Amino acid sequence: MIRSIVSTAVAGLAGFTATKAVLRSRLRTHESVVRTNHAGHDVSLAEGPAVATGLLAGSLLIEDPRQRTATLLATAAAGSLGAVDDFCESGSSKGLRGHLSALARGEITTGTIKVTGIPLASIAAAAILRSRTRPAGFFGFSQKEDRPWFAAAADVIVTGGVIAGSANLFNLLDLRPGRALKTGALTLAFTDHHRRVSWAPSGAIAGVTAAAWPDDLAGDAMLGDTGANALGAAIGVILAETATPAQRRLILAVLAGLTLASEKVSFTSVIESTPGLREIDSFGREVV
């Protein structure tokens, strides 16, 4: 177990470091990777692709083939679609409501591609997670399952919702230096790791988080949609794989509630006005 954690952590850190070095040498201060943050400072989006690549590198070493495939699929899709929104953004719609409204009007923007593509990829990853060794039935479930196909299909959809909802939530949190990384670390710290399947992917996330931490907390770089979506998807797979069906439904309800709340409430305002959350959020941050 320790060896798998260390190997995925090292792979994640190495993938992050190599990708960021290449991006920095080729792009440097190119306008395509520079954004202005909440404090009016220029920050680099190069961290996002580096995080996504590091997560994929670490995920390659996950021993369980179903979890490895599902993690690679969800992380790659979320990171790639996030990159499309980061670097090829079109349309002025913001937030889930804005993207869905644009889609309803027949307007295809990078945001609408992301909010439809990530859930579809997440459901595909969920079908892989819930599959068994025998030939699969409807929605990737073994026909040996005692429950009816529609119950199995519903669990796949809920599992996919957890993965997609997690990807979206981490994107919503990437509004202040270190916030998304801290949320990821705390989520893994409080995850029930009684099953070995959670340790290797957690190692990859830990390695990437350690590598991204200094520049992110300093306000020099940010995850962007690329890194935040990829990180959230990878964590979503862990949550989906370690939780019971009832727990997955609860997690999905919480994620859906937070997503809907974000349309009306500022997470930053809530965090900054809540003792405890405020201190955790600001811990180690050089830019406020």
Most confident of 81-85, 95-99, 165-169: 165-169
| pLDDT for the residue numbered 144 | 46
Cβ neighbours of 6 (radius 10 Å): 14
At 168, the pLDDT band (50, 70, 90 cuts) reads: very high
Mean pLDDT (whole number) for 88-102: 63
41 dihedral zone (left: phi>0; alpha: psi -120 to 50; beta): beta
Does pLDDT of 199 surpass 60? yes
3-class secondary structure, 273: coil
User: To the nearest whole percent, how much of the chain has pLDDT over 90?
Assistant: 61
Average pLDDT over residues 91-99: 60
Residues with Cβ within 8 Å of residue 148, at least 6 apart in sequence: none
Q: What pLDDT, on the 0 to 100 scale, is given for residue 115?
A: 86
pLDDT score for 280: 94
Give 101's contacts (C-beta < 8 A, 6+ positions apart): 93
Strand ranges, E, within the chain: 34-36, 42-44
Contact 52, 227 (CB under 8 A): yes
Structure confidence at residue 24 (pLDDT)? 78
* Confidence bin at 171 (pLDDT 50/70/90): very high
Quote the pLDDT of residue 149. 76
Q: Give me the mean pLDDT over the 113-131 stretch.
A: 93
pLDDT at 4: 85
Cα 91 from chain centroid (whole Å) = 23
Q: Determine the pLDDT at residue 133.
A: 38
Structure tokens at 88: 């090829």
Q: How confident is the model at residue 103 (pLDDT cuts 50, 70, 90)?
A: low
Of the ranges 56-70, 83-97, 196-210, which one carries the lowest mean pLDDT score?
A: 83-97
For the segment 144-163, the average pLDDT, to the nearest whole number, is: 84
When the pLDDT of each residue in the chain is averaged and rounded to a whole number, the result is 86
pLDDT band at 134 (very low <50, low <70, confident <90, very high): very low
The pLDDT value recorded for residue 30 is 57
pLDDT, average across residues 83-96: 72
Instruction: Dump pLDDT digits (tens) for 14-71.
Output: 999 999 988 877 665 556 677 777 777 788 888 999 999 999 999 999 999 999 999 9
pLDDT of 110 reads 78
Query: Residue 47: its pLDDT value, please?
Result: 93
